[in-house]
Amino acid sequence: MSRKLIIAGNWKMHNTTAQARALITDLAPLVAGAASVDVVVCPTYTALATASDALQGTGIMLGAQDVFWKDKGAYTSRISPSMLLDLGVTYVVIGHSECRGRFGVPEPDFDEAVLAHFGDSDATVNRKLKAALAAGLKPIVCVGETLSERRQGEADAVVASQVRGALAGIDADAVPGLVLAYEPVWAIGTGEVCGSDEADRICGVARATVAELYGAEAAEAVRVQYGGSVKPDNAAELLGKPNIDGALVGGAALKAGDFAAIVNAGA
């Protein structure tokens, strides 16, 4: 089965509304010829409306960085699926390691009490995924191991467990539309990159877990991105691997030329 590549830029906590508009203005002509790739940008909540307007007619799709699982209510600071849809959001990132309190670069002032603020777990990722699917959003579900987990030989088990936790109770018909993003936590924002063969292997672990749960046909339909210090100089090698169907890009997504080079490496 041929799977269309998806390159998504996670802007994290960067860019004001003016900066968001400027970045999209610079990016759009650089990826105009990449019709064979789904291109997504994921700004902060405050820039979503501006980005939605700037993206009109570009072919680039809008993503959000998180979502809550309730549609309305007394949930101060949360953002519902319907609110994202109202702004023209198509994709939503769910379960990013930073939302789970799992950081590639240790934050010296983030002790256990502070890390509790970043409270996503397999259970909340599962709730968010169900809510996103019910609303018609397209989820990008993040999985990945920390450096200590990798050193202890637990990378495969962690990724498989996170996939199972995210998909618990998800209807089989919804699975082919999902995107999984394998992001080794130790490679996010560190400049370290997982070797392309190993990245491909663990993306295969994620896919094999889907196969165990839903069968080979569903697993072949699911797109699995790689994320973790993806750059123009390693994009082509990563995107050429059989189990890697795109990239979830962090730092390089903040520069139009770099992000476009990654997109065009897969076009």
End-to-end CA distance of the chain: 17
Identify the domain containing residue 83 by its residue range: 5-266
Provide the number of structural domains found in the chain. 1
Q: What share of the chain in percent tops pLDDT 70?
A: 100
For residue 209, what is the enclosing H or E element? helix 196-214
Amino acid 1: pLDDT: 59
pLDDT tens across 58-70, in order?
999 999 999 999 9
pLDDT at 193 over 80: no
186 vs 194: CA distance, rounded Å: 9
Average pLDDT over residues 133-162: 97
Residue 260 pLDDT: 98
Q: Is 106 a residue whose pLDDT tops 90?
A: no
Question: What is the rounded distance in angstroms from the CA atom of residue 66 to the CA atom of residue 113?
Answer: 22
What's the mean per-residue pLDDT of the chain? 96
Compute CA 67 distance to the chain's CA centroid, rounded to the nearest angstrom. 13
pLDDT tens digit sequence for 226-239: 999 899 999 999 99
**Catalytic positions:** 96, 183
pLDDT above 90: residue 140 = yes
Our measurement of the distance from residue 246's CA atom to the centroid of its chain's CA atoms, rounded to an integer in Å, reads 10
Helix and strand numbers (H, E) in the chain are 11, 8
Structure-token match 């618990």, residue found: 168
Rounded to an integer, the average pLDDT of 122-132 is: 98
- Here the CATH number for the domain that contains residue 165 is 3.20.20.70
Q: What is the mean pLDDT of residues 81-98?
A: 98
pTM (2 decimals)? 0.97
pLDDT at 191: 80
Tell me, what's the pLDDT at 12?
A: 97
pLDDT at 176 over 80: yes
Pairing of strands 5-10, 179-182: unpaired
Tens-place pLDDT, residues 4-30: 999 999 999 999 999 999 999 999 999
